[in-house]
Structure 1
Amino acid sequence: MNDSPGWATPGSSPSDPSDGERQGAPAGQPAPGDQKWSAQQPPPGQWSSPATGQGTPQQPPQQPGQGWGTYGQPQGGPYGGQYGHPGGPGPWGKPPAAKPGVIPLRPLGLGEILDGAVTTMRSHWRSVLPITLVVATVVQVISLLVQKLLLADLVVSTNGTPTPEELVNSLGSGLSVTVATNFLDFLGTVVVTAMLTMIFSRAVLGHGSTVSEAWRDARPQLLRLIGLTLLLGIGLTLLGAVLVLPALLLDSYGLAFAGGLAWLVLAVWLWTAFTLASPALMLEKSGIFTAFGRSWKLVKGSWWRIFGITLLTFLIVLIVKAIIVMPLTLIGILVSGTGLTGLTDGSAAYSWGALIFSAVGLIIAQMVTMPMQSGVTVLLYVDQRIRREALDLELARAAGVENHASGATGG
């Protein structure tokens, strides 16, 4: 066991509820040979109260309907504990979960996942910021030059009715720009995702990571991550072609619409089922198909939860991009120097001013959104492994936390 990404052998720990009950031990007690529990367990019947001194502390008379909380002070409710419920940090409550890094080592809630991503961006900005800034700048500069080169000779119709030649020219130029810029974005996203995954994995343990360390850890799996992402994208595209193209060839637009709708549902379902394949591949040092299988197993039974968190993250990213990019793009169009003619015929949209301001906006937006997306995905992966494989025990050992009990709740 070490502090490097990967943490534990996948699937080596028991999953889901009460392992002691599954293996024949009484509920709440460790089963023989159960590795999920710490080797140092307190002897039965030896729990002591928080009061100091010798002997049994004297308690004041308990009033009806009133329990006793921390240090023998009365609390409301029939169970005692702080705030009058059994989960409080009193003598009867569980200890708070260890938090060596950006998240507590227990099953996470939505707020904790988002907070963990933001906390990592803020506390490890010396590593996160250079990676996103450099990659986003390189991608946007190349994309700007590609757009200007491919759209420089685009003929814009001035009479409102484009000729067939103008239509073909516009379609070809637009398609070329879309393919080129999307491919550049894809490569940049893969590189950033690979490196940020390593930074987030160390942040969970409370360890920092330099840019060189993140690159060193990510580089061996980079080609596999590119292959995994391409394979998923190509597979979803082929699925759409199978469901839609036959209907279009038969001129059955209703059937084509139904096929497109079915493809959309299947694409969302498959994308969610494989959303944890990227961190599984990077952190477990596995192969492409093994990573797909790991994601399928981890998401199974939690599809709606993971879909909801992923969708919410996507909407947050979309809103942030719109807030940053759209005003700068509009400013670029207004200062492009093409005047009202450029605004009406659309030529201002690919002027130098518009392209430069749009690129600046995208660089700023990606510096915020790319770490957010990568962080949420990594923390979802960690959360699912804690829930199913008791990964928190391995993380606690790697972080040097002693006597960590799996499933501990926060105080």
Structure 2
Amino acid sequence: MNDTPGWASPGSAPSDGRSPEVPHPAAPADATPAKWSAEQPPPGDWSTPGQGDRSPGGPAAGQGGGHPGPYGGGPWGGPPPAARPGVIPLRPLGIGEILDGAVTTLRTHWRTVLAVTVTVAVFTQVASILIERFLMPSVPQVDPEATPEEALRQSLDSLQASLVSLGPTLLITMVGTLLTTALLTVVVSRSVLGRTVTLAGAWREARPRLPHLLGLTVLLPVGVAVLFAVGMLPGILIGGVGGVLLAVLGALAALVVVVWLSIRFALAAPALVLERQGVLASLRRSARLVQGSWWRILGITLLTALLAFLVSMVVAVPFTVIAFVVDGEGFGDLLSGSPPEFGLLFLIITGIGSVIASSITYPITAGVNTLLYIDQRIRREALDLELARAAGLPGYGPEPGSAPVSGG
């Protein structure tokens, strides 16, 4: 047993090798009691476990905080605490720790994170408003006095015009998601090591990966469209009532496959950015990391999506109500059953709400996705040891890539 101070907490086994359950021999009856000195050292500053510094990289996060138990254990004899140089402990994570790590990244590096999200959100909203207001044709109105055949044709024309106007918005949203994913992945990966990164630094690291990430971002929706087309094609070719039922069944089967593949490839983006992988290599990498944890990753993804949706609703609904109060023409169209035509003021007010909601939800969803990737690599590849070395923690060896110090 090492007698170095700090190895044992109060009440632990003595260093002479005797067990604490074995009583010590009684002192002789004629022994002279020890006399206390008039001057005593100040009392020790003992604290209850859990009251130490819990800031990222602080002592209680695995760098000397709390009271190490006997035999070098953790607080009060428990397992040794995991190193925590940044926003997460370097060990397999629970869902609460993943969400907490994403929120902590937003809170700790808010300047860089908000610079990314607010810039991208403002760009996408302004572009969407300008395209929708000035470039897209107006949606055809449905004549309430039209015959059933004419009403069906007008409804199809209205639906086609709505889908055409939705295309540029989806394209802009895809570009915005591409940029935020690349930049925030870099920010989160640095925050795990306890390092700060500026917007310029994140851009320098993410910029070479943007063409590959664009290919991945385009490939996934195209694959989804192909799956649905293949699933519905037999029913469309048959036609009639039986064809419609067959097309619906094909669409449901395609949906199941799409959900399965979406989770299987959920970690492709962080693998592409952080490991410098190509598009297909990142898809294969994600499939290997997700294998055996599909249901867990599905649950965390759905929970994150639900939380992001609730935050968006809490933020966006008040702005939508204000927009309806200020510009009520679109609301009147909704009540009459006609396709609404919203004014520019309505679009501006709702756009402000969307920017605020996106600035909050983008970092959380991107942070959870990146931390899920790191968690899976910790579980499968002991990435925590590499991260500890990269963070420069003592006892883990030199940082990867650093030159060894040679003796004189």
TM class, shorter-length: 0.7 to 0.9
* Aligned mate of 1:145, from 121, 130, 154: 130
CA distance in 2, matches of 1:133, 1:237: 31
Task: Tell whether the 8 Å contact from 1:348 to 1:354 is kept in structure 2 after alignment.
Answer: no
Does residue 243 of structure 1 match 2:222?
no
The answer to whether 1:295 aligns with 2:286 is yes
Task: Tell me, in whole angstroms, the C-alpha distance in 2 between the residues paired with 1:372 and 1:155.
Answer: 39
1:183 lines up with 2:171 in the alignment: yes
Letter in 2 for 1:204: V
Q: Is the 8 A contact 2:331 2:340 kept in 1?
A: no
Using the TM superposition, give the Cα deviation of residue 90 of structure 1 relative to its aligned residue in structure 2, in angstroms: 5.4
1:328–1:357 contact (8 Å) kept in structure 2: yes
The size of the alignment, in residue pairs, is: 342
State the match for 1:355 in structure 2. 347
Q: How does 1:365-380 map to 2 (within 5 A)?
A: 365-380=357-372
Q: CA deviation at 1:254?
A: 2.0
Task: From 204, 213, 216, give the equivalent of 1:225.
Answer: 213
Q: Distance in 1 between matches of 2:221 and 2:383?
A: 30
Determine if the alignment matches structure 1 residue 382 to structure 2 residue 374. yes
Aligned-residue offset at 1:347: 5.8
Q: Match for 1:108 among 70, 93, 107?
A: 93
Q: 1:387 and 1:200 mapped to 2: Cα distance?
A: 19
| Equivalent-residue separation in structure 1 for 2:3 and 2:263 (angstroms) | 45
1:154 corresponds to: 139
The match for 2:305 is 314
Q: With structure 2 as the length reference, what TM-score do the two structures score? A: 0.77
Give unpaired runs (5+ residues) of structure 1.
1-44, 64-70, 72-81, 406-411
1:273 paired residue number:
264
* Deviation readout 1:306-358 (Å, 9 max, x if unpaired): 11101111111111112222332232123115387444344655222322222
- Please say if 1:129 is aligned against 2:114: yes
Counterpart CA distance in 1 for 2:307 and 2:199 is 26
What residue is the counterpart of 1:172 in the other structure? 160
CA distance in 2, matches of 1:338, 1:353: 11
Deviations 1:74-124 (A, max 9, x none): xxxxxxxx9x9x997357532100000000000000000000000000000
Alpha-carbon spacing, 1:91–1:267, altered in 2? closer, same or farther (3 Å):
same
Describe the superposition over 1:192-235 as per-residue Cα deviations: whole angstroms up to 9, x where unpaired.
11000000000000000000000000000001001012112111
Give yes or no for contact 1:333–1:353 (8 Å, CA) kept in 2: no
Amino acid across the alignment from 1:50: A
Amino acid at match of 1:396: A
Letter in 1 for 2:204: R
Cα deviation, residue 243, structure 1: 1.0
The aligned amino acid for 2:312 is K
Question: Corresponding residue for 1:216?
Answer: 204
For 1:268 and 1:359, how far apart are their aligned partners in 2? Answer: 30
CA distance in 1, matches of 2:105, 2:333: 44
Greater RCO between the two (CA within 8 Å, min separation 6)? 1
CA–CA separation in structure 1 for the residues paired with 2:2 and 2:270: 42
Aligned residues: percent identity? 45
Write the letter of the residue equivalent to 1:56: D
State how far apart, in whole Å, the 1-side matches of 2:82 and 2:178 are. Answer: 33
Q: Deviations over 1:234-258 (max 9, x none)?
A: 1121011111122122121222122
- Do the aligned partners of residues 57 and 312 (structure 1) sit closer, same or farther apart at CA in structure 2, a change above 3 Å counting? same
1:102 aligned partner, one-letter code: V
Shift in alpha-carbon separation, 1:61–1:262, aligned structure 2, 3 A:
same
Q: Within 2, Cα distance between the matches of 1:62 and 1:90?
A: 24
CA contact (8 A) 2:323 2:345 kept: yes
**TM-aligned CA distance change 1:233 to 1:337, over 3 Å:** closer
Q: Could you list the runs of 5+ residues in structure 2 that have no partner in the other structure?
A: 24-45, 47-66, 398-408
Read off the aligned partner of 2:160 and give its amino acid letter. G
1:280 CA displacement: 0.2
Q: Which residue of 2 aligns with 1:256?
A: 247
Q: Deviations over 1:239-289 (max 9, x none)?
A: 111111221221212221221111111100000000000000000011111
Q: How far, CA to CA, are the matches of 2:297 and 2:214 in structure 1?
A: 23
Partners of 1:268 and 1:256 in 2: CA distance: 18
The code of the aligned residue for 2:223 comes to G
Give 1:148 shift.
Answer: 1.3
- Which region of structure 1 is more displaced relative to structure 2, 333-342 or 356-365? 333-342
1:234 corresponds to 2:219 = no
For the residue of structure 2 that corresponds to 1:350, the secondary structure is coil
**TM-score with structure 1 length normalisation?**
0.76
> Paired residue for 1:56?
16
Matched with 1:41 is: none
Partners of 2:229 and 2:323 lie apart in 1 by 38
> How far apart in 1 are the matches of 2:3 and 2:191?
34
CA distance in 2, matches of 1:123, 1:255: 52
Pairwise CA RMSD: 3.0
Per the TM alignment, residue 293 of structure 1 is displaced from its structure 2 partner at its CA by 0.8
